[in-house]
Amino acid sequence: MSEPTASASHLVLIPSYNPGAQVYATVRAARAHWQPVWVVVDGSSDGTAAGLQDMAASDPGLRVWVLPENGGKGAAVLHGLDQAAAEGYTHALTMDSDGQHPADLIPAFMAASQQQPAAMILGKPVFDADAPALRVQGRKISNGWANLETLWAGIGDSLYGFRVYPIEPLRQVMRGQRWMRRFDFDPEAVVRLCWRGVRPVNLAAPVKYLRADEGGVSHFNYLRDNTLLTWMHLRLVLGFVLRLPLLLVRRFFPG
């Protein structure tokens, strides 16, 4: 097997909350393709924090932060972004810890980011036959709102978390308001980055929904998380209306 690509500018950032043993396979797969890989354990209580720290103790390409309490995916990502910025990294590829995202595509997404560093590289999910129909169809609603809120700037999928962000614009967006700390992180990040002029570039990527007997763990709650997304889109629609003149100019008079 070839050595993982090492980078001083681009890192893999994995927020992790009670993923079960699947996280170890996820991290090993990411490390097989890239260095460095950072994991932010978001207050997990399933024992995986200790296991990840053991892995990092013998792997200089892996670093693990353990947060004392669960603050949400966005909060974990922001912690990693702050650490990365302090060490001079410019871009972060985020991926989930539960095995849904394709680690073998890390090099291709990083290469796309290196070629277009001002852009964000967004995974556009390719679903297999086992994907839950309700979630596949339901995400179309969020995607429709996200495209309206950005005047169809080109967001292929607003919810798929396998993507490469330019670190500093995302940190500025997140530090500028109190939201984007939980399940609302992924869709709100792409909308607000589009508002800042960060161009989306979409790359197809498969998504795998693991069954429970395969080690799959889901923390998605239909009522709680859809309520959170509804509130998020209400905020974003208001922001869209306030920014509409600027978005129109950018849309129809680029450059």
Give the DSSP letter string of the chain.
-PPPEE-SSEEEEEEESS-TTHHHHHHHHHHHHEE-EEEEEES--SSHHHHHHHHHHT-TTEEEEEESS---HHHHHHHHHHHHHHTT--EEEE--SSS-S-GGGHHHHHHHHHHSTTSEEEEEEEE-TTS-HHHHHHHHHHHHHHHHHTTS---S-SS---EEEEHHHHHHHHHTSS--SSTTHHHHHHHHHHHTTPPEEEEEEEE----GGGT------HHHHHHHHHHHHHHHHHHHHHHHHHHHHHHHS--
Residue 164 has a pLDDT of 98
**Domains annotated on the chain, with CATH:** 7-252 (3.90.550.10)
Residue 134 has a pLDDT of 64
Residue 248 has a pLDDT of 85
pTM higher than 0.95, yes or no?
Answer: no
Could you list the pLDDT tens digit for every one of the 255 residues in the chain?
A: 578 999 999 999 999 999 999 999 999 999 999 999 999 999 999 999 999 999 999 999 999 999 999 999 999 999 999 999 999 999 999 999 999 999 999 999 999 999 999 999 999 999 876 766 666 777 888 899 999 999 999 999 999 999 999 999 999 999 988 888 987 899 999 999 999 999 999 999 999 876 555 545 555 555 666 677 788 889 999 999 888 888 888 777 776
